[in-house]
Amino acid sequence: MKHATITLFALAAFASAPLFAEDKHDGAEHQTRTEAELFTATCEHKIPQYTCDECRYELGLVKLDPSLITAPGKAGLVKILPVTRQNAQSLLPLHGEIVLNDAALTHISPRVAGTVRTIKTALGQTVKKDGVLFELESPELGLAIGAYRKNKTLAALTLKNLEREKSLVAQKLSPEADMVDAQMKYDEYRVELESAGNALAVMGLDAKAIAALTADGQSGKPSVLPVQAPQSGIVIEKHLNLGETVERGKDVLTVADLSSVWVWLEVYENDLPALTAEAKKGALRVQVKVSSLPERTFEGTIDLIGATMDEDTRTVKIRAVLGNAEGLLRPGMFCAANVVFETPEKVIAVPKSALMSDEGKHFVFRMVRDGFALRTDVEPGRDFADSVEITRGLKEGAQIATEGAFVLKSDVLRAKMGAGCAD
């Protein structure tokens, strides 16, 4: 009997402690009150506490102006969404390195030997497709242009002659054999002209450039070959100096499009079966982090699983493509990554941005009445790619703040900062 009394007393003391403790102003009182009690409690100012601008925070309640809430067609500071059951994900942590996307990289080498006369780009500079990178003065090009010009002139002459012969034969003033002869001559120079044009095209000149270089006004001028960028990107390598003589085929510039990068990740043999099985279902998602940008997560997909294993590390390399529109990821950076596996298990989970913590306690903001969000303590479980499992404290369908929860957090914690009931 005595034992039972003590137990009851202890329970009562425990239950009332948070309500009266003067040093507890952290909005934690909601934990011991029912929702109805929150809205009937009266504060020291003799008004319902939830309406009191000074004492409301102690209840863990935040009054949310409708203008702050995101609605269809209107972006707000706070977004409210119902809690859902989601597929649990398992994350495979890996390490790797950011490298250049080889598929978006071009090594530029002149297709004809020559002397570098102008350089119109520099290391690290952005270049546009078809923009002139440098110009070469080339004797070889000069010969090719000469051959083109000669054959162009001869083709024109023989064509004129052929037309004259055709007309004479029609008037029976010339034997047909003369026309056949003229046709053969014209055909010969037409073919010669075609092959001279091909020779210029092989040197990297398009029809427009050929026309410009072989125009009559260009006769006698040095033969300068403009070397154009085959793609847009950044000059990441340059082995090119003014006045230098470069050979055909020498790599003089490398232009890389860094709007996407590759990341090579190492997978242990044990993890490989799960990975290959998952990859068969569709593109595997990967989240990548680099130490210089700890708050950023970069999304990518795995596009290649290596065919061989490194004998020393017992790992297989897998490759992911990452978007890099902002240019933040630099080839050579080391990175940590999580490969995301979807599982059939359904669990309650909330977006990472919904979960707040303070002094080791985790909570979300749940809408309890129109315009009121209540700090609701929860027990987080496993970490997923974009969400966190909630194992206790939250039911499916509850309306919670999924964005802007930090604003509500600073509001309920302001009593703690000394701005609430301080008397």
List of residues contacting Zn ion (CB under 5 A) = 43, 45, 52, 54-55
Q: How far is the CB of 15 from Zn ion (least distance, A)?
A: 22
- In whole angstroms, give the CA distance from residue 206 to residue 225: 11
Q: Given the complex with Zn ion, which of 56 and 185 has the nearer CB atom?
A: 56
Write the CB contacts of 132 (distance below 8 Å, at least 6 apart in sequence): 120, 226, 227, 228, 229
Q: Given the complex with Zn ion, which of 209 and 421 has the nearer CB atom?
A: 421
Q: Given the complex with Zn ion, which of 55 and 64 has the nearer CB atom?
A: 55
Q: How far is the CB of 54 from Zn ion (least distance, A)?
A: 5
Determine how many CB atoms are found less than 10 A away from the CB of residue 95: 11
132 φ/ψ angles, rounded to the nearest 5 degrees: -75, 125
- In whole angstroms, give the CA distance from residue 422 to residue 44: 11
Q: Given the complex with Zn ion, which of 325 and 422 has the nearer CB atom?
A: 422
Q: How far is the CB of 62 from Zn ion (least distance, A)?
A: 15
Which one, of 349, 379, 260, 357, lies nearest residue 81 by Cα? 349
Q: How far is the CB of 50 from Zn ion (least distance, A)?
A: 10
Q: Given the complex with Zn ion, which of 43 and 309 has the nearer CB atom?
A: 43
Q: How far is the CB of 11 from Zn ion (least distance, A)?
A: 28
CA 13, distance to chain mean position in Å, is 56
CA 320, distance to chain mean position in Å, is 11
- In whole angstroms, give the CA distance from residue 305 to residue 278: 12
Q: How far is the CB of 416 from Zn ion (least distance, A)?
A: 16
Q: What is the 3-state secondary structure (H, E, C) of 74-103?
A: ECCCEEEEECEEEEEEEEEEEEEEEEECHH
Q: Given the complex with Zn ion, which of 58 and 278 has the nearer CB atom?
A: 58
- In whole angstroms, give the CA distance from residue 135 to residue 224: 6
Q: Which amino acid is at 381?
A: G
10 Å CB burial of residue 312 (0-12, 13-18, 19+) is: exposed
- In whole angstroms, give the CA distance from residue 153 to residue 143: 15
Which one, of 41, 83, 24, 13, lies nearest residue 378 by Cα? 83
Q: How far is the CB of 44 from Zn ion (least distance, A)?
A: 6
CA count, 13 A, side-chain hemisphere, 151: 19
Q: β-strands 379-383, 372-377: how paired?
A: unpaired
Q: Given the complex with Zn ion, which of 52 and 144 has the nearer CB atom?
A: 52
Sign of CA dihedral 66, 72, 78, 81: positive
Q: Given the complex with Zn ion, which of 55 and 127 has the nearer CB atom?
A: 55
Q: How far is the CB of 24 from Zn ion (least distance, A)?
A: 15
Q: Given the complex with Zn ion, which of 52 and 316 has the nearer CB atom?
A: 52
DSSP H or E run through 198: helix 176-202
Which three-class secondary structure state does DSSP give residue 207? Answer: helix
Q: What is the DSSP string of 402-418?
A: EESHHHHHHHHTTIIII
Q: Given the complex with Zn ion, which of 49 and 214 has the nearer CB atom?
A: 49
Q: How far is the CB of 55 from Zn ion (least distance, A)?
A: 3
Q: How far is the CB of 361 from Zn ion (least distance, A)?
A: 24
10 Å CB burial of residue 214 (0-12, 13-18, 19+) is: buried
Q: Given the complex with Zn ion, which of 204 and 420 has the nearer CB atom?
A: 420
Q: How far is the CB of 45 from Zn ion (least distance, A)?
A: 4
Helices (runs of H) and strands (runs of E) counted in the chain:
7, 22
